[in-house]
Each structure stands twice: as structure tokens, then as C-alpha cells.
Amino acid sequence: MKIRVPASTANIGPGFDTVGIALNLYNYFELKESEENATLADKAFNYFYKYIGKEKPKKSVSIIKSDIPQSRGLGSSANLIIGGLVCANVFEKNILSDEELLNLACKVEGHPDNVAPALLGGMVISTMKNESCFYNRFELSEDIKFIALIPDYELSTKKAREVLPKEISRNEAVENISNTAMLISSLIQNKYEGLEMFLKDNIHQPYRKKLIKDYDLIMSLIEENNFYGGYISGAGPTIMAIASNESPMTDNFLVVLNRMNLKKLKMNVDNEGYKIL
Ligand code: HSE
């Protein structure tokens, strides 16, 4: 039994802690005979057995192939949590539903916006209410591409959350609400023009950008290339550009990316979520 779990990009600008999209970049897992307990996938595996009230088998979760860079804003921790939970669930003949797995994953991760798309695929709008995760899931077109510009350094979510203000003004809050509503409805309806305006955020990006080297330069390159827009993927430091299939990448764009040591990964949405191979 092998399990494949997708990466994810969260927030998508204004949808802080609420919107996430699964991407076709994967980690692969299987169970092995061992009592090691080293990773977050093992922690989730153990948590599953605690939840179902059964003794854990003498197994641990092995990450057999890892394509998702860690602590870069591409949902690597959510991916490990889903990997561990799904390995346990498949081993226990699918005793838990996806809804139950999602609730467990949210408890381990603390917020739903990466674990939900990693589990279910597509774009997932999610929220925690009374310890339960509520969500709506949408499939997105492969006509839009997600171009991740990944720096060579890590940024922990904890550190990136510490810089956020506790309060914002009413005008800023209203702008975030309308931008999130426009962003989600535009993506569902394949209406990409104007996306750049709806990616504007007042809750986290203005504060996190100082943690990202060359943020302004990277965002201006995205603008120059006529992509649909750019945003900080999850807590960063990866910046994500949304582009059409035909969006050209100018020589200048590629040269500057190289000079800044940014790795470029062009991805599609993954509409499947985890998969048993
Ligand atoms: N919504 C989370 C954040 C995603 O922005 O902090 C990162 O885990």
C-alpha cells in the first residue's frame, strides 16, 4: 500500500486561514515495520489510534518520496499529517470517513486551510466551528497555472504568525471580505481578469512581506509578466503567481529568478486529493 498526498497553497491573498488549493506536487507514504516515531506523519498516525481507542500497531509511516519542500508555504506539514492519518485509516480498512479524518487533521495542524485540500483536492473553503471543520469544495480548471517562486531559505509558520497584528480597521476588514468573495467566485467561474485586484490582502501580507527577501521586486516582476497576479503562498516564503497556460515568461523574469536563487515550479490544481496507489 502506497499513499500519495498533494501539496497545497493556502490563503490565496485575502482568504486568510480559510481558502486552500491542492497542487500536483506530491509526497508518497507507506507503512513500515518499525516503532520509530520521528515525524509529524508518525504523530498523526499515533493520534489516529488514540482517537479510535485501539492499540497502535508496531509500524511507522515511511516517507518514500518527498517532492514538497519543507517550511516554504506549500503545505508540507499538512501533507505529513494527512499522510499519517490516511496510512492508518487504510490499514484499519477505512474505519473513519474523510470528514472524521479532516477533524483529526485540524486538531493536529491547528487550522484547516492546508489539511482540507491535501485530503480532498481542489479548492476548499473551510472553517472551524465548535471544534468541527466545515467546508465547501470546488474543482478548479487546469487552465490556470500556479507558478511557485521558492526561495532557498525556510520560514516557520509560527514566526510568520507572530508578526501579525491583533486588530485591523473596519475598512480593511470589509476590503478583505469583498476581495475573498470575488476571488473565490471568479476562480469557480473561470473568470481570471481582475484577479490581481482581488488578491489584495490587509490581514497578513503587508506584515509578512518584510520576512521575505526581495518581496517587492518579485511582485513587480509578476506584474511585468502579465500574470493574473501574485500572493504569498500560505505563511511564505514562497510567492505564488497565478498565470494562464500561455503566460509567457520573459527572459528578464527568468534571469532575475536565477540571480535571486528562486526555484520556479509550474503546477496545476490537483482535483483528487489523497490517492491510494
Ligand atoms: N493560514 C496559515 C497561515 C497557513 O497563513 O498562517 C500556513 O500554515
Tens of pLDDT, residue by residue over 127-167, are: 999 889 999 999 999 999 999 999 999 999 999 999 999 99
**Spatial distance between the Cα atoms of 265 and 62, rounded to a whole number of angstroms:** 25
Tens of pLDDT, residue by residue over 47-100, are: 999 999 999 999 999 999 999 999 999 999 999 999 999 999 999 999 999 999
Query: Which protein residue has the closest C-alpha to ligand 1 atom 5?
Result: 235
Q: Does 237 sit behind a cis peptide bond, omega within 30 degrees of 0 on the bond before it? A: yes
Query: Which protein residue has the closest C-alpha to ligand 1 atom 6?
Result: 235
pLDDT at residue 227 in the model: 93
Strand extents, DSSP E, 130-223: 132-138, 144-150
Closest ligand 1 atom to 73 CA: 7
Contact 276, 87 (CB under 8 A): no
Contact 120, 138 (CB under 8 A): no
DSSP 8-state code for residue 240: E
pLDDT at residue 245 in the model: 81
Tens of pLDDT, residue by residue over 193-250, are: 899 999 999 999 999 999 999 999 999 999 988 899 999 999 999 999 999 987 778 8
On the 0-12 / 13-18 / 19+ scale of CB atoms within 10 A, 165 is exposed
Cell of 267: 503546477
Ligand 1 centre to CA of 53 (Å) is 30
pLDDT at residue 234 in the model: 97
pLDDT at residue 226 in the model: 84
Query: Which protein residue has the closest C-alpha to ligand 1 atom 1?
Result: 17
**Spatial distance between the Cα atoms of 188 and 144, rounded to a whole number of angstroms:** 11
Task: Look at residue 257 and tell me whether its pLDDT is greater than 90.
Answer: no
pLDDT at residue 248 in the model: 75
**Spatial distance between the Cα atoms of 111 and 109, rounded to a whole number of angstroms:** 6
Best mutation site among 111, 158, 233 for ligand 1, i.e. most ligand atoms within 8 A of its Cβ?
111
Tens of pLDDT, residue by residue over 99-117, are: 999 999 999 998 999 999 9
Closest ligand 1 atom to 17 CA: 1
In SS3 terms, 128-155 reads as EECCEEEEEEECCCCCEEEEEEECCCCC
pLDDT at residue 131 in the model: 87
Compute the 3-state secondary structure of the chain and give helix, strand, coil in percent, each to the nearest 5: 35, 25, 40
Who contacts 123 (Cβ-Cβ below 8 Å, separation ≥6)? Answer: 19, 20, 21, 22, 117, 137, 138, 139, 140, 184, 187, 188, 269
pLDDT at residue 150 in the model: 96
DSSP 8-state code for residue 228: S
**Spatial distance between the Cα atoms of 26 and 32, rounded to a whole number of angstroms:** 19
On the 0-12 / 13-18 / 19+ scale of CB atoms within 10 A, 132 is exposed
Ligand 1, pocket residues at CB < 6 Å:
10-11, 16-17, 111, 113-114, 157, 161, 204, 234-235
Ligand 1 centre to CA of 95 (Å) is 29
pTM over 0.85: yes
Tens of pLDDT, residue by residue over 5-55, are: 999 999 999 999 999 999 999 999 999 998 788 899 999 999 999 999 999
| Angle (CA) 117 24 250, round 5° | 120
3-state secondary structure of 115: helix
Ligand 1 centre to CA of 16 (Å) is 7
Given CA atoms 149, 153, 156, 161 in this order, what sign does their dihedral have?
negative
CA proximity to 96, closest of 139, 40, 44: 44
